[in-house]
DNA sequence: ATGGTTGTAGGACAA
């Protein structure tokens, strides 16, 4: 069977990143491209530009200004749907079912604000509740799925540039990391990125805009993930963080993550 | 210790 390539990328505004999406699509030719933080409602979504970039199927789930996800596909999509989380109506999830029956789920988990105390910071409380809801959903999942996106949690010590300095910084706090572990265990997912790069090695997908030289300082975090149902791992080949894209003109602060499968 | 940048907007605010 032919190879199947998937890329997930937090673009930080799809309209600000049209050229980069086109270039990435041309250079890597993914069958499926999952986007987060599109920051546009579905009427304003750049359908034409995405079709020009080669995607016959465009499944956006957006809202004005904030959040927003989309799945773009060169291969047939038999069904797509979005789930609501925490009853807020936020555009944080879109899923597609492929002809094989495999589903691809694209998530944008709340970032959680700055203060790591759910009592005083409602954004952090929302993030924890969102992760709890994901775990409950994962417990009911009885079919093979690939789950990708900006989960806004760096679970391992080597998923951040300094475990010591970030252990009380949102994205790497104990309650978030414990909840993300629980989501993964609830469906018996495999962390495909870590299947490719052992936990001894640092692995990042996001670098702040604020660094003078993001590559030199390398104060990154692994916030973006590719999780694969265990039975599908037999088809998983390789993974790459496309960090060169972080150096393109007008970059997103997230690098795309690419995964190759034998088939999907 | 603080500030550093970007995007959406057209002033803060979230990331």
Question: Is A253 among the annotated ligand-binding positions?
Answer: yes
d(C-alpha A264, C-alpha A146), whole Å: 9
Q: Rounded to whole angstroms, how far apart are CA atoms A246 and A264?
A: 28
What's the Å distance between residue A250 CA and nucleotide B14 C1'? 19
Which DSSP category does A43 fall into? T
What is the nearest nucleotide to A126, using C1' and CA?
B14
Q: Phi, psi at residue A22, to the nearest 5°?
A: -65, -45
- Looking at residue A1, its pLDDT comes to 59
Token pair 């104060």: residue: A219
- Which residues constitute the domain of residue A166? 4-261
pLDDT at A2: 67
CB distance A231 to A212 below 8 Å: no
In this structure, what are the phi and psi dihedrals at residue A102, rounded to the nearest 5 degrees?
-65, 135
Q: Which two tokens stand for residue A171?
A: 């994205």
Q: SS3 for A199?
A: coil
Q: Strands, DSSP E only, in chain A?
A: 4-10, 32-36, 57-61, 69-73, 77-81, 93-98, 103-108, 145-150, 189-191, 206-207, 220-221, 224-229, 236-241, 257-261
Token pair 């359908």 is found at A47
DSSP for A135-186 reads HHHHHH--S-EEEEEE-----SGGGBS-HHHHTTSTTS-HHHHHHHHHHHHH
Instruction: For A112-155, write each residue's pLDDT tens digit.
Output: 999 999 999 999 999 999 999 999 999 999 999 999 999 999 99
Candidate list A31, A67, A90, A108, residue with the active-site label: A108
State the nucleotide closest to A11 in CA–C1' terms.
B7
Does the CB of A43 fall within 7 Å of any strand B atom?
no
Q: Is the CB of A13 under 7 A from strand B?
A: yes
The predicted pLDDT at position A127 comes to 98
The total of structural domains in chain A comes to 1
Residue whose tokens read 């709890």: A132
pLDDT value at residue A212? 94
Strand order in the sheet with A189-191: A77-81, A93-98, A103-108, A145-150, A224-229, A189-191
Chain B nucleotides with an atom closer than 7 Å to a protein C-beta: 3-9, 14-15
Domain of A180, CATH number, reads 3.60.10.10
- pLDDT, residue A9, reads 98
Protein residue with the closest CA to the C1' atom of nucleotide B3: A210
Sign of CA dihedral A183, A185, A190, A194: positive
- Tell me, what's the pLDDT at A109? 98
Catalytic-residue membership of A93: no
A112 beta carbon to strand B: under 7 Å: yes
A42 is in an annotated binding site: no
Does the annotation flag A243 for ligand binding?
Answer: no
**Any atom of strand B under 7 A from CB of A88?**
no
Specify the long-range contacts of residues A124-129, CB closer than 8 Å, at least 24 apart. A124/A170, A126/A86, A126/A88, A127/A152, A127/A170, A127/A176, A128/A175, A128/A176, A128/A179, A129/A86
pLDDT < 50 regions, chain A: none
Strand B contacted by A210 CB (< 7 A) = yes
Task: Based on the residue annotation, tell me whether A81 is a catalytic residue of this protein.
Answer: no
């Amino acid at each position: 069977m032919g190879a199947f390539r998937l890329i997930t990328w937090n673009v930080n505004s799809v309209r600000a990143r049209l050229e980069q999406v086109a270039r990435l699509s041309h250079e890597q030719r993914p069958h499926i491209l999952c986007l987060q933080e599109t920051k546009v409602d579905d009427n304003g979504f750049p359908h034409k530009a995405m079709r020009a970039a080669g995607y016959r199927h465009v499944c956006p789930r957006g809202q004005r200004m904030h959040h927003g996800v989309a799945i773009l596909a060169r291969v047939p999509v038999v069904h797509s749907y979005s789930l609501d989380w925490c009853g807020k109506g936020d555009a944080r999830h879109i899923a597609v079912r492929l002809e094989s029956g495999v589903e691809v789920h694209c998530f944008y988990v709340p970032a959680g604000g700055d203060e790591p105390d759910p009592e005083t910071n409602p954004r952090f409380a929302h993030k924890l509740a969102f992760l709890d809801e994901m775990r409950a959903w994962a417990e009911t999942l009885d079919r093979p799925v690939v789950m990708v996106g900006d989960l806004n949690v760096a679970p391992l010590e080597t998923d951040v540039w300094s475990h010591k300095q970030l252990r009380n910084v949102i994205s790497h706090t104990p309650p978030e990391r414990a909840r993300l572990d629980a989501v993964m265990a609830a469906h018996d997912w495999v962390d495909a990125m870590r299947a490719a790069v052992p936990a001894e090695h640092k692995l990042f997908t996001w670098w702040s805009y604020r660094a003078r030289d993001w590559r030199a300082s390398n104060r990154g975090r692994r916030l973006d993930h590719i999780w694969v149902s265990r039975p599908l791992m037999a088809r998983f080949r390789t993974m790459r963080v496309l960090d060169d894209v972080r150096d393109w003109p007008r970059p997103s602060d997230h690098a795309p993550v690419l995964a190759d499968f034998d088939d999907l």
